[in-house]
Amino acid sequence: MEGLPSDIFDHDIKTFPLKDSAMEAKLKAQMDKAEQQAEKEAKRGRGRPPKSATTAPPSKASAPEVPITKVRKGSIASKTQKIRLYFHYLSHKISFSEPKSYPQSHEGLDEILDKIEVQLHGEGGIEKASVMYVTGAGGLQKLMDVFNPLGWDLSGPAVTLQQAVAANEEKWKDLVKEFAIENASWFMFGPTKRLILTTVQLILAVDAANKMARANGQAPPAPQPAATREELEKEARDL
C-alpha cells in the first residue's frame, strides 16, 4: 500500500463490504422476509383440498343418468282414440283390461300404447313364424331345382317338401313357436309385416291347390260371361 494516498486507502476500507456491513444486513432482511412469506403461503395451503379435487371436472360415471323419454307423435285425443279402438276390436288379444279413466298426459298414453303394441307385435310374430317356416321350406325346394350339390329330390313326383311340411304341421308347430319365443326380438312383427306374410300364405295355398287340381286332371273353372249392356244399366238403376 506504499505510494498511495492515505485518503484513498481510508475510502476503500470504509466502502468495502465487510461481514457487518449495511449491505449484508439489507440482504439478510430481504431473505428473512422471503422465508416468512413462504411459510405463510405454506400454512395457507395446508387447509385447502388438493387442486385436482377442486378443479377436476366430474367424471361421466358419477353423473346421474337421465332417462330419455320418447314421446310419440299425435295429440292426446288421437292417442286416446287409438287405445279405445285397440280395446274395441282386439280386446281378445290384449291380456290387460282397458283403463277406466285414461291418462291426460302423453307419457301415460304412450306407456299404454307401448304395452298394447309390444303384446300384439310379439304374439303376431309368433303366429306368423309358422308361415315363415312353410315359406322357407318352399324356398329351399325351389333352390334345390337350381343348386343341388347333395342331389336332393324335393320337388316330387310323389311329394314335395312344402307339401310334407304343410301336412305335418302338428309335429313342428310347437317347436317353431318355442323357437320364436326364444328369439323374440326377431319376431316382433308389426301389422304391415303380418299382413304381407298372411298374403304370402294365401298365395302359396292357392298355388298349391291349383297345381294339385291340374295334376289330377281337373279342368279350371270356366270364365264367367261378360255382362250385357242391359244388365249393366239395370245394376246401375238398382244402385
State the pLDDT at residue 229: 60
State the pLDDT at residue 221: 57
State the pLDDT at residue 33: 77
Q: What is the pTM of this model?
A: 0.50
CA distance 39 to 33: 10
CA distance 94 to 119: 7
CA distance 237 to 55: 89
For the chain, the DSSP string reads -TTS-HHHHHHHHHHS--TTSHHHHHHHHHHHHHHHHHHHHHHHHHTSPPHHHHHSPPPTTTSPPPPPPPPPSS-HHHHHHHHHHHHHHHGGG-SSPPPSS--SSHHHHHHHHHHHHHHHHHHHHHHHHHHHHHHHHHHHHHHHHH--TT----B-SS-BHHHHHHHTHHHHHHHHHHHHHHTGGGG---HHHHHHHHHHHHHHHHHHHHHHHHHTTPPPPPPPPPPPHHHHHHHHHH-
State the pLDDT at residue 53: 46
CA distance 192 to 199: 11
Low-confidence ranges of the chain (pLDDT < 50): 1, 9, 52-53, 66, 239
The 10s digit of each residue's pLDDT in 38-72 is 777 777 666 555 554 455 555 555 555 545 556 67
